[in-house]
């Protein structure tokens, strides 16, 4: 296990910048998931700072990427996190109508899984998203394009 706070958080052994362990976030109610906006950056970090958050919780050193990829605990928690978020989306289909901030969260999750976990996990999450979408809902082609773009290496 490394000493980096991002890896330690992803492995479940250290709190994030808001004083939450990963399991604390998994215990959020649907209302908390909808209204708290900074948890997505810590569950699914990227190697670039979020335009929507002042948090410094992002991968600034590229050597962390293979360390996260090889961490058994971080990988297990990625799967738990994306299944947890899929459960939320499945219970709350209003994100499927028009533009919704959860569509941006989905893009981030796909991108993070592709970068830090595997293409297979990113693709599985994307395919799960597509299965959740009902015919009577409207996801824009632009949103689909962002999701597909996030599946590309180094997206």
| Pairwise CA distance, residues 39 & 125, whole Å | 18
Quote the pLDDT of residue 107: 96
The contacts found for 60-66 with CB under 8 angstroms, 24 or more apart, are 61/4, 64/2, 64/4, 64/6, 64/7, 65/115, 65/116
Instruction: Please list the residues that pair with 97 across neighbouring strands.
Output: 138
Would the pLDDT of 100 be above 80?
Answer: yes
Task: Tell how far CA 118 is from the center of its chain.
Answer: 13
Mean pLDDT of the chain: 90
For 131, the enclosing helix (H) or strand (E) is helix 119-132
- Residue 77 DSSP one-character state: H
**How far apart are the two ends of the chain, measured CA to CA in Å?**
27
**How far are the Cα atoms of 10, 52, 59, 121 from residue 47, in angstroms, in the given order?**
15, 15, 4, 18
Confidence of residue 120 (pLDDT cuts 50, 70, 90): very high
Coil, helix or strand at residue 138? strand
Contact between 22 and 6 (Cβ < 8 Å): no
pTM of the model: 0.92
Would the pLDDT of 149 be above 60?
Answer: yes
Average pLDDT over residues 144-151: 94
Average pLDDT over residues 64-88: 96
Q: Which of 55-64, 113-122, 126-135 has the lowest mean pLDDT?
A: 55-64
Coil, helix or strand at residue 135? coil
């Amino acid at each position: 296990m490394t000493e980096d706070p991002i890896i330690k958080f992803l492995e479940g052994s250290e709190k994030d910048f808001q004083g939450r362990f990963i399991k604390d976030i998994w215990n959020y109610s649907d209302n908390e998931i909808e209204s708290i906006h900074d948890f997505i950056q810590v569950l699914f970090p990227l190697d670039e700072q979020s335009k929507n958050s002042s948090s410094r919780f992002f991968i600034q050193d590229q050597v962390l990427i293979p360390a996260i990829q090889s961490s058994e605990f971080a990988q297990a928690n990625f799967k738990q996190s994306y299944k947890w978020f899929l459960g939320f989306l499945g219970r709350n289909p209003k994100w499927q109508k028009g533009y919704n901030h959860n569509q941006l969260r989905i893009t981030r999750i796909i991108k993070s899984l592709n970068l830090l976990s595997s293409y297979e996990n990113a693709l599985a999450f994307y395919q799960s998203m597509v299965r959740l979408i009902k015919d009577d809902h409207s996801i824009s082609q632009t949103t689909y394009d962002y999701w597909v773009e996030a599946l590309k290496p180094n997206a």
